[in-house]
Structure 1
Amino acid sequence: MNLRGALGGLLRDEFADLFLGSRCVGCQVGGRPLCGECALGLTGAPRRAVPRPLPPSLPATWATVPYEGVARAAIVAHKEDGVGALAAPLGAALAAAVGASMGEERTAVTLVPIPSARRTIRRRGHDPLARITRHAAVTLRRSGHQVRIRPIVRLARRVADQAGLDAAGRQANLDGAFRVVPLRISLQDWGNVIVVDDVVTTGSTLVEAHRALLRAGIPVHAAAVIAATTRRIATAGS
């Protein structure tokens, strides 16, 4: 999607929620889906997210905030309730994690989102991560990055719901679950490839996406997420 299209989507999401009426997901005060004060819960200095135990093949992963409080409420409301206006602040939080993974570089970056099952997209009526990633790309372009979105990772088979599974169960559930669509373009101008998702818990999803990309000959620079769960994730500055 180009910049004009992404901005158009942002405005449609915002006005739709304002027209229908909403309450802040953080403080429940009527008005906007996220008030200015609660929006601070989606900001912070991104840090490395380090699952314990650390799974092999996990790319360096950056998270902007812990998965709790306002961040958790905003991600769930956008994903499950379709609150479209939250895509912009969530996209900004994802962009911050991508930016941290890049350091001071202002090179081209290619965002590869983790795929959702088609049945899940149909149930929700939208693709939450795709929408958040488009907003993240807008933010990154404003910061001087050349950004592409390549949704080239797809599900190769049916997987179970990850909720309730421990680290070993998640890994077994996702083992070999992803494939990469055939490429008809050169990798020369892709720059740094960043795998993006909304939340990292055990890291198993990012590991499998990373493996699928490597099998396709696509090197991964890092992974970036909005939030990291606090129960299994120790964030360490890097």
Structure 2
Amino acid sequence: MRAWWRELSGLVLPVDCGGCGAARTLLCEPCRRSLSGGRARRVRPSPEPYGMPPVYAAAPYRDAVRAVLLAHKERGALGLAEVLGGALAAAVRAAAPGPGGGPLVLVPVPSARRAVRARGHDPARGIALAAARELRRGGRPARVAAVLGQRRAVADQAGLGARERRANLSGALEVRRGGVRLLAGGQVVLVDDLVTTGASLAEAARAVRVVLPGELLPEGGPPPRTVESDRVRAAVIGGPSASFEKNWN
């Protein structure tokens, strides 16, 4: 009911821009350009967690981009999902540019159950669905497979450093029963609203690789690095600003 009321009120009541607060517009043109006016880039957190797949982001996570993501995620501005989905679709195209590998399978990184209940919606799933619609409109077969679930409780990530986040999330996710069938025959792209330390994406990738033939990483692997996998990629809306100031090849 909470999510339904937020969506309805966003349609009938005056709103301010989710990025800069400009009156009576859901998202002003300058803030819209901040989200999707540039080119999606390869991004890397520092330090980079072992097992993290190649990640592409639509825009630096700062200023208007940060404000819009928080408005959607924490303040229930569900009307922003479509424009956020458009930005995410651009990052997905960069992560999986070729037509090979079958249809795109967008796998949202799940939030903690208590966070979903508190917010009244699942932000990553909402923008993933919007991104899949945008991709299909552009001629790319795409579907959303919300196959990841938590196998144990995790602490709130706020205030945790990179090492604490990795320990908090290690082994926390799994592919739900029946999820393997949904992942089969497609190019898997993990999707989330943003990447900071990379711990969530690395754990999501580990859980997916367990069920994909030839993708499982050995325990106690080499020093932290990105795993260049043909089957598992990742896309987000907001990424580290430093990555947009470097030329990652």
Taking structure 2 as the reference length, the TM-score comes to 0.84
Whether contact under 8 Å (1:170, 1:204) holds in the other structure is yes
* Alignment pair present for 1:42 and 2:35: yes
Greater shift, 183-192 or 106-115, is seen at 183-192
Whether contact under 8 Å (1:50, 1:233) holds in the other structure is no
Deviation digits for residues 100-129 of structure 1 (CA, Å, limit 9, x no counterpart): 111242641100100112211111111111
Q: Secondary structure at the match of 2:241?
A: coil
Question: Which amino acid is 2:79 matched to?
Answer: A
Question: Which amino acid is 1:161 matched to?
Answer: D
Partner of 1:226: 237
Partner Cα separation in structure 1 for residue 109 and residue 245 of structure 2? 22
Q: Secondary structure at the match of 1:31?
A: coil
Partner Cα separation in structure 2 for residue 210 and residue 69 of structure 1? 29
Q: Note the residue ranges of structure 2 that are not aligned, 5 or more in a row.
A: 1-5, 216-230
Tell me how large the CA RMSD over aligned residues is: 2.2
* Alignment pair present for 1:190 and 2:178: no
Partner of 1:55: 49
Whether contact under 8 Å (1:50, 1:235) holds in the other structure is no
Within 5 A, what are the aligned runs for 1:91-170? 91-105=85-99, 107-170=102-165
Cα 1:215–1:184 change in 2 (3 A) is closer
Partner Cα separation in structure 1 for residue 233 and residue 205 of structure 2? 9
Name whichever structure is richer in strand by fraction. 1
Q: Which runs of 4+ in 1 moved over 6 A?
A: 231-234
Match of 2:24 among 31, 50, 53: 31
Partner of 1:178: 173
- CA positional deviation for 1:221: 2.6
Question: Which amino acid is 1:77 matched to?
Answer: A
* Alignment pair present for 1:78 and 2:72: yes
Partner Cα separation in structure 1 for residue 47 and residue 243 of structure 2? 8
Within 5 A, what are the aligned runs for 1:207-226? 207-217=202-212, 219=215, 220-226=231-237
- CA positional deviation for 1:135: 0.5
Q: Note the residue ranges of structure 1 that are not aligned, 5 or more in a row.
A: 1-11
Whether contact under 8 Å (2:147, 2:179) holds in the other structure is no
Sequence identity, in percent? 42
Greater shift, 169-178 or 47-56, is seen at 47-56
Deviation digits for residues 65-114 of structure 1 (CA, Å, limit 9, x no counterpart): 01101110010000111001111111111110001111242641100100
Partner Cα separation in structure 1 for residue 171 and residue 20 of structure 2? 41
Partner of 2:59: 65
Deviation digits for residues 164-213 of structure 1 (CA, Å, limit 9, x no counterpart): 11110110000111011122764686320001111101111111111111
Cα 1:185–1:222 change in 2 (3 A) is closer
Question: Which amino acid is 1:98 matched to?
Answer: V
Partner Cα separation in structure 1 for residue 16 and residue 87 of structure 2? 20
